[in-house]
Structure formats: structure tokens, C-alpha cells
Structure 1
Amino acid sequence: MEIYVVQPGDNLFGIAQAFGVPMSQIMEDNRLPNPSLLVVGQTLVIRFPEEVYTVQPGDTLVSVALQSGLSLRQLYRNNPILEGQPTLYPGQTLVLRYQGSPGPSVTVNSYAYPFINQSLLQRTLPFLTYLTPFTYGIQEDGELVSLDDEPLIAMGRAVGTAALMHLSTLTESGNFSNDLANLVLNDLSLQEVLIDNVLTTLQTKGYSGLDVDFEFVFPQDALPYAAFIRRLRDRLNPLGYPVIVALAPKTSSDQPGLLYEGHSYRDLGEAANRVFLMTYEWGYTYGPPMAVAPLPNVRAVVEYALT
């Protein structure tokens, strides 16, 4: 695989000829709706097929996978043109293997609202390790706000994508409640009820782990928050469920601001099995034009996290 940066005067036909791959494949691999609309500086993924298969009458995706020794998941990944759908037609060309050894393994997670576009989700799922339906809220008595997550979990399971349960203090108005977090983090009996409900949901829905996302936590609740994550880990880990905690994008331990002061990287890092750095939304819908996740900003957060 190569990453090609579009130069002045380039066109897709010429790029395809230069690399010796079909123009249609470059279009599919890069989701290009119009081959004539390239932008200087744009990056294109160029992949080199090593083994292909021409679909015969009577073939199904399952039979091709079995015959070629590939999983359905890998067959979908090798052929974005399928868009996660099992439909084949005679004469269609499928890529079974690409040149070059596989790259490093990465874990990929994606949040999804229950109302996500189904075709978008279908074609994305084969590339995800985890799918995280968004979100289970918390009530003041420790009960959970229900979520229509079963269709998403089922779609993921069909292609081998596991599901993570998402627990947050997001209210119906769309804001994270620091008052609700304060209530939960300082009432151990309430925590017991909440943890019991989380465990029941994990087991009945078939989730593979828990992602906790409490934002705008009061500064005085930083240590109680870490203690709560530790209690979750102690209850859930013996049953095979990892606990992940989402962290605001800090660049120093004493960074001011309500978004940051309630998240102690050291304490939460010690309490959780994994952490998720929320290195995004510098650019957003109502802000000035800029990248959602500028590389210098992301790097600064990662470098602090590594300390």
C-alpha cells in the first residue's frame, strides 16, 4: 500500500496508469464520488492486488470466503465495493489478497447514535474492532436511561465487530451534568445500584466492555471519579469486561477549566484498564474554520499522557 499526495496537473486516470491499478479501485478505496474532482495536496490510498477471484454463477460470499481461506470480515475489508453487503453477481472481481505484509495491528472504535444511517454503518463495520452505541444516561436513583441499541449490536455481531457499552452523564437536553456526576461519585450505595444495572445490561445485551464518559466533572470530584472507575473495574474485570474511561484532552496536570480539572490522568489511568483520549472537536460546527483534530494539538495531548 502507498499513500499518494495529489500534485498540480494530476488526474485520476494518470495516477492509476502510473501505479498500474484500476482507476475504479482507487475510486472505491478512497470513496471518490467524482474522479475529476481531485484537490492538490489530497491523499489517496493506493493498494496493489496480489490475488483476485472472478465470481461464478452460484457463488455466495460465504462460499468464496471458505474457498479462499478468508473470513467474511476480511473479504469485506478487501472489497469496499461490497459496502458490507453479501450480494454478488457473476463476473464480479473480488480481491482476495493484496501485495505486502500486513501493517501493525490497531484497535478501532466508533460511536454511533441509534439513528445512524444504516448503509453507512454497514460498510464501516468490517473495519471496526468495537462499535459503541451512544449513550446510556444515568437517573438519580441509579437506574439507566434506556437506549435502542439492539439493532446496532446485532449488525456488529454479524460481521465480527464487538460492542462497548457507553455510560455517561449526558442529559436529555444534550449536556453533561456535573451535578449528576457529583451525586453518583459521592454516594456509595447509589454506585452499587448503578453498577448492578450496568452489569445486567452488559450481560443481557451482549456487550464486550464498558466505556465511561463523565465530562465537566467538578475539580473536587477528581479522586472520587477515579475511585468509582476502580470499583467498576474490580466488579467487572473478573467477569471478563474491561473498563475504559474517556479523558478530556489535557496537556498538563494543572490545566485550568471545568472540562479538565476533574480528570486526573494519573489516577484514572491507574484505575481503568484503558483510557480513551478525546483529542477532537477543536474544530466544530459553530466554531471558526479549522481541523477537527489538528495534528499538533493531538500530539501535545498524547505526549502529556505518556508522562
Structure 2
Amino acid sequence: MMIVHVVTSGETLYSIASSYGADPARLAADNAVPASGALAVGQTLVIRFPRQVHAVQPGETLYSIAAAYGISLRQLWRRNWPLGGQEHLTPGQILVISYFEEKLGTAVLNGYAYPFIDQALLDAQLPYLTYLTPFTYGITAEGDLLPLADDQMLSAARQRGTRPVMHLSTLTEDGQFDTERAALVLTDDALQSRLVSQIIQTLRYRGYAGLDVDFEYLPGHLAAAYAVFLNRLRRMLSSLGLFLWTALAPKTSALQRGLLYEGHDYAAVGAASDAVLLMTYEWGYTYPPPCYRSPAAGASC
């Protein structure tokens, strides 16, 4: 059972916990309430009710506790958000083994992250992610694969049961998406074959579960070549038991103009991919931010 409570004026962490028969300390921990206990009117709190808990004994570890209850370390992390994906325990600490609640369904969650992400932040999120996609393997001026320092990310992901996905883009050494490098790969068959070979080698050597391709700023005349390239990748990956994703900028029409949209034929890309990720965050910097609109007057800023 899970309840979402909206804080009203005058309520405190203790009064809310008391009204639901919940532990205020766990309520605070599950909702990242600051040590001061400060709440804001309108803030939402998730209230969950443990079915079984465990008090940590001297010498116990997360591994030994998970094994004792027949659950995975990943499950133990996911049921104890305050652990932050870490292994440190203190005697007397209370861990949730299971909750009184039923799952609403299943979901597949993917997260992108740069290699310089704060390690504690990454560790805290990994138990809740199905996939982690380190950003990004680019392409050199010669059309070769530009490497990524992803060792630490891959190690952390595997330790927490999250499958890594390789990300391929046209990012250069200077950190910019480059149209010319995309054109180089999509129009030179010999060069493309060399790049594909390097991609397959990296996927297998580094143990990636699949490939996410993100070629942005493609001119319209490269749309068909891009779909052919994706088809080629998918056939090769499928033979290895790996999948192919493609990232697409959000479009409102197949005729939408602009370098961000013209090279992406939604139908062709969708047919060439196992799944497509719509980069809806593109709206955030392509268009002005949302602003107030009056329902009565219809005025907007």
C-alpha cells in the first residue's frame, strides 16, 4: 500500500506520520526531508508501509542480509532509498525487507550520464534504472570511433544490476555535434564498415547490452542513408543478441523544416530500430520556456 499526501498549512512531519500510523524517521528518509523537518505547503510525501524490517546486527553486510531473506542486493537497495546505493551499514539500522503494496505494472527506465557525474549521485540512481547509457562515443575527423572513459560507470552499473547501453553520436573532440562527420560515415561505405567494426568490437569487449544511436543535425538528403545505416547496425547487433535504439528529435510534422528534423524519417528509423527514444527535452531549448496564459483573456507573455 502506498499513499501520496499533500502537505497543508500547519502540518508537520510528525503530525502526518501520526495520522497514518507511520514511522516519522522513515517518512523523512523516504522523502529526503531535511534534518530540520521543514515542509512546504503543497509538497507531496510518499507514505509506504513496511511488511517486514530487519535491524542490522554487528558484522552483517548488505550481501549477508539479502541472502538471509532470499532477495537480491538490488532489491534491498531499491527498498531502502536512504542507502543511496551504498554498502555501508551501522548496527541497529532498520532496513525494509518488503512492503505492503502491489506493483501497478512494469517499466523500463534508461538514464543518460556523463563520465564526470558525481559518483554518489550515480550510485543512488542505478538500483532504479534498467539501463544506463554513458554519454557518448563520438566520431573522429577520420571517421573512427572516438573513445569514452566509461570504466567506472560500467563497473558501478554492473554492481547494482543495471545494464549498460553504448551511446553513439556525432560528437567531436570539442564536444559539438557535427553534421560533416555524420555525412562522412553515411556516404563512404568503406569508412562506414570500419566504424561499424569498431562499434561491434567495443560492444562485445565492454559488455554493452545494446547500442543507442543519436545522429543529430542531419540534412534532409541524408535521411535515407541514415535509415540504411541503422538497418545495417540492427542486422549485425541482432545476430549477436544485442538491441538497437535510436534517439529522435520530437517532430510535429513529417514536413517540419530545420536541420534538427529533416534528416529523421520517423517511419524509416522506426522500422530500422528495436526502440526509439524521443528527445522531448529538445523543446526546452529550441523554443521559448512556457509562461503564464490567462484562460479568460487568452493573453500570453
What is the TM-score with the length of structure 2 in the denominator? 0.90
Q: What residue is the counterpart of 2:22 in the other structure?
A: 21
SS in 2 for 1:258: coil
Question: Structure 2: how far apart are the matches of 1:229 and 1:8?
Answer: 55
Question: Structure 2: how far apart are the matches of 1:254 and 1:31?
Answer: 46
Question: Structure 1: how far apart are the matches of 2:204 and 2:29?
Answer: 38
Question: Structure 2: how far apart are the matches of 1:54 and 1:289?
Answer: 48
Larger CA deviation: 33-42 vs 66-75: 33-42
Q: Partner amino acid for 1:236?
A: L
Question: Structure 2: how far apart are the matches of 1:150 and 1:85?
Answer: 18
Q: What residue is the counterpart of 2:31 in the other structure?
A: 30
Q: What residue is the counterpart of 1:196 in the other structure?
A: 197
Question: Structure 1: how far apart are the matches of 2:254 and 2:39?
Answer: 43
Q: Partner amino acid for 1:274?
A: A
CA displacement at 1:185 relative to structure 2? 1.2
Q: What percentage of residue pairs aligned between the two structures are identical?
A: 51
Q: What residue is the counterpart of 1:277 in the other structure?
A: 278
CA displacement at 1:89 relative to structure 2? 1.8
* 1:80-229 matched pairs, under 5 angstroms: 80-229=81-230
Q: What residue is the counterpart of 2:294 in the other structure?
A: none
Q: What residue is the counterpart of 1:11 in the other structure?
A: 12
Q: Tell me, which stretches of 5 or more residues in structure 2 are unaligned?
A: 292-301
Question: Structure 2: how far apart are the matches of 1:32 and 1:287?
Answer: 34
Question: Structure 2: how far apart are the matches of 1:174 and 1:290?
Answer: 28
Q: Contact between 1:27 and 1:35, CA under 8 Å: does it hold in 2?
A: no
Change (3 A) 1:178 1:34: farther
* 1:252-271 matched pairs, under 5 angstroms: 252-271=253-272
Change (3 A) 1:199 1:6: same
Change (3 A) 1:30 1:281: farther
SS in 1 for 2:126: helix
Q: Tell me, which stretches of 5 or more residues in structure 1 are unaligned?
A: 292-307
Deviations 1:42-72, CA, capped at 9 Å, x for gaps: 3222211111111122211111101111100
CA displacement at 1:14 relative to structure 2? 2.1
Q: CA RMSD in A?
A: 2.0
What is the TM-score with the length of structure 1 in the denominator? 0.89
Question: Structure 2: how far apart are the matches of 1:79 and 1:107?
Answer: 20
Question: Structure 2: how far apart are the matches of 1:138 and 1:66?
Answer: 44
Q: Contact between 2:249 and 2:282, CA under 8 Å: does it hold in 1?
A: no
Q: Partner amino acid for 2:206?
A: K
Question: Structure 2: how far apart are the matches of 1:210 and 1:42?
Answer: 39
Runs of 4+ deviating beyond 6 Å: none
Larger radius of gyration: 2
Q: Contact between 2:140 and 2:172, CA under 8 Å: does it hold in 1?
A: no
Larger CA deviation: 9-18 vs 29-38: 29-38
CA displacement at 1:289 relative to structure 2? 5.8
Q: Partner amino acid for 1:209?
A: G
SS in 1 for 2:57: coil
Question: Structure 2: how far apart are the matches of 1:225 and 1:25?
Answer: 51
SS in 2 for 1:260: coil
